[in-house]
Amino acid sequence: MVLQPTSNNLVRNGNFANHGTYWSATATAPGRVDFSRQHCIITATGQAEQDLAVSDATTYTFSVFTLITYNGKGSAQLVFQPSGTTESIVLDGNHGWLRNETSVNTPAGTTGVTVKLVGDAGDVWFDNVRLVEEEGTIIPIELVSNGDFAEDRKDWILTATPPGTVSIHDNRCVANHGGHIEQVITVTPGQTYDFSIDAMTPSGGHGFAIFDFAPDNAPQIELRGDGGWDTYTHSLTIPEGIPEFTLRVIAATFLEVDNLSLKTAVARKTKTSLSSARSDHPHVYSPAQENRIMTTATAQKTAHRKAHEKYFQGSIGDEVFKANYVTHTLMNRSRSRNTDMYWLLEGTQKAENSTNKTVIVFKYLYDREKLPSGRYTLKEDERESRFSVIIMRLGNANVPAYTAERGTVEFFHDDDTNHTHGALDVYFTNAQGAEVRVQILFSE
C-alpha cells in the first residue's frame, strides 16, 4: 500500500509535533496520557481522541506507527458517526516501532469519525496517525533510510583512507579527499525514481552521487556549487534485472550533504537539475522522511537535535522490567595487547521494599571492525565471543547468573558520541530447566 501526501491527511497534528494540540485525552489512575516527547504515550489505561469530518460510502486508509513495552495492550480505532460502527487495529505484545495499516469503507450515512488511540495495559506509544482518502496524487514510501542523518550513522557505511575523512554530526555528513558514505537500496527493475540531495561545497570543493548498479554500470551526478547549500535532483531509471543497488556519495575535495531522498517518480524528469543556492540550510522537515522513519515524524528536523532518550526496558518472561538506572562503561580486564576491550551496557531494576536487584548486562566488543553495528543471531550450538547477554538476580545467594543461549541481538553504536541503542530478544534456561524469554529495548 502506497502512502499519500501529508496534506491529504485528515488527522490534525497526527505526528504530535505540537504535542497534544487537537487531541482530547482521558486516563484512569494510575494511567496517564503523555504528549511531551512528540509522541502519544499511554500508560496503563487511557485514551486520546479526535473528531473528524468524513464522507459516507468512501474508502479510506487508516495507519499509525506504534511501539509497545511492558507487555502493553491497546488499539487504534475509528468510530463512525452517527452509526457507532467501529474499525480497530488491535495492538498486543512488546515490539519496536511498527507501521500498522487498514483500509476501511465508511458506512452509508456517515458524517464524521472519532479517531481513538487506546491503551489498556503497559506502555503503548503512538505516532504518525493518518487517515487519507484513497484518491488523488500518490507519493510512495521513502527508500533512503536515515537520509536526513537524524539517527547519526544508522544504515550508512562510512569509509575513508587517510588523508581522506568522513563523519556524520549535527544532522549532516561531512567528507573530504575520497571519504564516502554508502547504502544498499532495494528497488523495482525498470521503475523510474526521483532522487534528490542537498549539498554544500565549501572552499571550491565538489563530489559525486553515484548509483552503483554493476561494476560496468555506475551513473553519477556531480555535486559542485558556489559554496552554499544547493539541492540537486535527478531522474533515475533502474535497469532491468537490477533489484537493488548501492547509493554512494563521495567527496573529491570538500563536501557536506544532507536530505538524501529516492522516491517513485510522480512526474518524469529528463535531466539533473540544481536549485538556486541558499544562504543557509534550514533543515525543513520532509513528509517523505516521515513516511519512512518513525523518529523523523516531527514538524522540523531541528527537533531531533535534542538529547538522546535513555531507557532500558521490556520483560523477563512474564515479569515487566524497567531499569531504575542505566550505565554504559568500557571494560578491559587486562593491559595485555591481546585482550579485547568490551562495552558493558547495564540496566538495573530495584525490587520494591527490598534490597534485591535484577541486572541485565549487554556486553559487546569495543572494536567496530570485529563487531560492526547491526543485527546478530545468537545460536545454542555456536560459541559467540564478541557479545553476550547476562541476567543476574542480586541479593539472593540461591539465584545464579544466567547467560542467554539463543535469540537475536540488534545494536547501533555511535563511535563519536558512544551512544548506543537497539533491542534484545533472547532466551536463557533457568535453574528449573525452563526456557525464559527476555525482550528489551534500550538507548543510552
DSSP state of 241: T
146 lies in a domain? no
140 lies in a domain? no
SS3 262: strand
The answer for residues whose C-beta is within 8 angstroms of residue 285's C-beta and 6 or more apart is: 296, 298, 299, 300, 301
Amino acid at 338: N
**Residues 174, 231: one domain?**
yes
Question: Would you state the pLDDT for residue 284?
Answer: 31
Give 271-316 as a DSSP string: S-EEPPPBSS------HHHHHH-GGG-SSSGGGGGSPPP-EEEEEE
**Residues 18, 107: one domain?**
yes
**Residues 384, 288: one domain?**
no
The domain that holds 48 is classified in CATH as: 2.60.120.260
Residue 7: burial class (beta carbons within 10 Å; 0-12, 13-18, 19+): exposed
**Residues 282, 328: one domain?**
no
Alpha-carbon distance of 367 to 176, in angstroms, equals 24
In this prediction the pTM is: 0.38
- Beta-bridged to residue 102, according to DSSP, are 62
Distance of CA 328 to the CA centre of its chain: 22
Question: Would you state the pLDDT for residue 267?
Answer: 40
Domain end call among 271, 305, 339: 305
Instruction: Tell me the C-alpha to C-alpha distance, in Å, between residue 164 and each of 181, 253, 254, 281, 343.
Output: 12, 9, 10, 25, 28
Alpha-carbon distance of 33 to 56, in angstroms, equals 31
Region of 37 (left: φ > 0; alpha: ψ -120 to 50; beta: rest) is alpha
Evaluate the CA torsion angle 413, 414, 415, 419 in order and state its sign: negative
Give 42-85 as a DSSP string: EEEEEEEEEEEE--TT-EEEEEEEEEEEEEEEEEEEEEEETT--
Question: Would you state the pLDDT for residue 36?
Answer: 87
Nearest CA among 440, 444, 442 for reference residue 94:
440
pLDDT along the chain (444 residues), means of 10: 50 88 92 89 94 90 88 94 93 84 90 95 91 62 87 91 84 89 90 89 82 91 83 90 93 90 61 39 31 27 39 85 86 57 89 83 90 85 88 73 88 83 87 88 82
Domain end call among 290, 305, 320: 305
Give 7-52 as a DSSP string: GG--STTTT-TTTTTT-EEEEEEEEEEE-TTSSEEEEEEEEEEEEE
**Residues 242, 371: one domain?**
no
Instruction: Give the three cell numbers for residue 359.
Output: 541486572
Instruction: Tell me the C-alpha to C-alpha distance, in Å, between residue 198 and each of 168, 265, 277.
Output: 15, 18, 10
Alpha-carbon distance of 15 to 298, in angstroms, equals 6
**Residues 20, 127: one domain?**
yes
Instruction: Note if the bond before 163 is cis, omega within 30 degrees.
Output: yes
**Residues 48, 93: one domain?**
yes
Alpha-carbon distance of 411 to 421, in angstroms, equals 6
Nearest CA among 195, 190, 200, 259 for reference residue 225:
200
Instruction: Give the structural domain span for 86.
Output: 6-133
387 lies in a domain? yes
Question: Would you state the pLDDT for residue 85?
Answer: 92
Question: Would you state the pLDDT for residue 22?
Answer: 92
Question: Would you state the pLDDT for residue 414?
Answer: 83
Domain end call among 288, 305, 322: 305
- Residue 388 · residue 363 · CB < 8 Å: yes
**Residues 283, 188: one domain?**
yes
52 lies in a domain? yes
**Residues 204, 254: one domain?**
yes
Amino acid at 137: T
**Residues 334, 439: one domain?**
yes
Question: Would you state the pLDDT for residue 332?
Answer: 61
Question: Would you state the pLDDT for residue 7?
Answer: 44
Question: Would you state the pLDDT for residue 51?
Answer: 95
Question: Would you state the pLDDT for residue 189?
Answer: 86
150 lies in a domain? no
**Residues 20, 117: one domain?**
yes
- Residue 263 · residue 194 · CB < 8 Å: yes
Question: Would you state the pLDDT for residue 338?
Answer: 52
Alpha-carbon distance of 271 to 248, in angstroms, equals 19
15 lies in a domain? yes
**Residues 163, 290: one domain?**
yes
Distance of CA 349 to the CA centre of its chain: 26
- Residue 181 · residue 221 · CB < 8 Å: no
Alpha-carbon distance of 356 to 398, in angstroms, equals 12
84 lies in a domain? yes
Number of domains in the chain: 3
SS3 237: strand
181 lies in a domain? yes
Alpha-carbon distance of 199 to 331, in angstroms, equals 40
Question: Would you state the pLDDT for residue 280?
Answer: 40
